[in-house]
Structure 1
């Protein structure tokens, strides 16, 4: 009645992003620090703490004695509420886990409605057996969801300003792919005169002319990473997690395939980087699968980025960033702030790298230095990154913006905003190519007119005015490639 604060609860190391009353006399909050905290609303006294990883996006009480927490990495966690304090977390097995959750709300007893950054809206049961159902329609990131008390009406809002009202009884089971869900682009590759894209749901490969947009060819294939060989005449495409197919770039006709151990993390030129669950990483020939060099990290890497000749490989896992120089058998690691790693890119010289995470941050690293520079780049989720030469990289995120970064100073050189969440990015033939959540591919002139990161021949030290000679562009990689071949 007076507007005076009854109590003030403090403790989160950063913004509070989720809040709910439990119905058991407590309040539970979640924040970008990845923690869940329970409070006494009368006094503000802390009652419980659960430490996690990625930022908490939403907390919901879907049933008596139960709490659901959604995190920025796309995971849904169900807790038992004991005297209003969440305990005993169980991670739900939900299609789309890994695509950032942006909103969640109760949709009747024992059920929640969840919105994701790729436009997906899901109905998820939290008590007893039940199948996850999807509501189709959004081609942009969902930002708000709600439902009536009985869960018979659901409303959702997206980045385009649209509010859609649903009848949950007509929701379809499964992981999407039915009419109304736009097939997001899963990977893109670019060379002079050709752009190739792959659908995220194995919708095949499509090749287009980057100047006119005219379609060149289309073939059924997997939705894994794509890259061209050094000449641009062959295309490598990953099917499943560990089969690399080689195709003629001009026609898309398959020229060969090889199955590799572990999982393909990245490829460039005629090389491919694979990782295994025990932390083993290998640089291999993309055609034969023969391993040139191997190393082992403390934890299994999630993403990787090699330089053109494989002299340097940047590897990232949750909480860990590593620079591996295979020819010298040298591995340098540095700790990363907590967050689900989604992409990594390295400049052509292997001196600077950038890591993206599901909390919308970029971590810029001068390889071998003791720390990384972290910069906020997206409100919700970063999805992809690619090296752009001259100590630059391009990142893409859920807000539809592609950003060109100067890796020597961790500053943005240019931005291109689009009207759909971006899901993939590649740089080739002097062009930046991005794929979005609506299945469209865009060729951007982001590099045109952007200031050079540094003059040729020098790389500024971060935080100082001193300069050191830059590695010899190309020569270092050729020498390393020769050593690897030997």
Structure 2
């Protein structure tokens, strides 16, 4: 989360993120308000409310500025274009009529908020990236900070620089802001200091404020100008007395990664912070205590999701090394996260009776969990020499199959955890996906060697030749419910259906995705196929005709994992935006 700010009335918070979205949150409950605002094509770096709270402006690494209706979440007009590199900072004029933006193209630009047109020429003078911009409270001046280690003040009407550059920082200036009365400017820098400047003379006021142990990323005055808040790459937030420069109380701790943005609420009672730990946190400005829980679930990409056999629960695995169980009806997490893996979890699945969960991880192990208690069952299953990429139970729950980046497939006794027979070898590159046939007699595997292979589950021998046709890595494979067909997804952006008995491709490739296909699955009745992709869409296909059914389901980031519910009425997806979503398979509307 790169940028956070309160609405003028303090009831809402807006956040911008590296997942390319803007989100609005209820400041009292911490719940997201409406859907994510989508349109930017790269990281959102800066967000701000208009003075009346009716609009939001955002800047992005896609070099554009966008204006949004805060009530509906819809984009207002076209994107504002003109910058030639990443937009790093945006702000409204106090009367809401203009917007100022700073960019890595070393310029500052002013825009008409109503028309979206640039006002006058770009403001030039900085010798390197502009990182932060802000209007003075009366709108007469603009302050800018830059990677050239300077701060500059500009006449907002003429675009001319006012006086000399403010110098003193010994490294990049990351954030600047005016005091509420416009008399002072505060700046934060990668030199780990905060400095206060006289806006009229450009002279530094007092000594630098020191205490942070890493880059200072964001600074802001309190509404009464008495305090300054700062966020830092040291994962902390600090509050300072603006008149003495002394730190007020202890550092605010809780974030697990660098703090990228901080802001006071309009009444000065609370502070909001955004962090690279993907959370937004609210703090009591007087006590420094966190208010409520962080707005979060998984702390990193969700890589695998699956429904329980009765459809009542969902299991998810994530790059945050945890497995989580969710109530499919309410979307609430059930119990604590299942922890034990030492690295990213890549694949999860329920046992056929729903009593256990199996997980595979980049720590090279497979683990079995009690689904009701969340406790690990027995020791980790070891044998793979590299990342485990895919795991699945046999239909009777007696065995587990696993695929790995070590190019092998292994079968395990689910009761003892012992490997059954030798590893299945033949693939010439990483094995990405494995599944049992519905009768348990065969195993299908997909690989980065662009092939699909079928194996006899009892002997471990390959059945027939490799299935070829994909032009790039095979990422996901699954049997149809009757075992007669296999579906595969690939980095070539296509889905293909195969005859299990002959190994021949059935019909043409299913095309429509615009990036690699990450996950495929048949519906329980075998009539539909669902696919997830890095193009940020989920698509449903008619298994008989290969035609897409309806419009694509869209999200904020790539979907590494999709699955049907046991009754076929719902689809669950896991996303790189850290969320799990539930969709109505018939209407394609989001349910959770």
TM superposition score normalised by structure 1: 0.49
Higher strand share: 1
TM superposition score normalised by structure 2: 0.41
More contact order relative to length (CA 8 Å, sep ≥ 6):
1
Larger Rg belongs to: 2
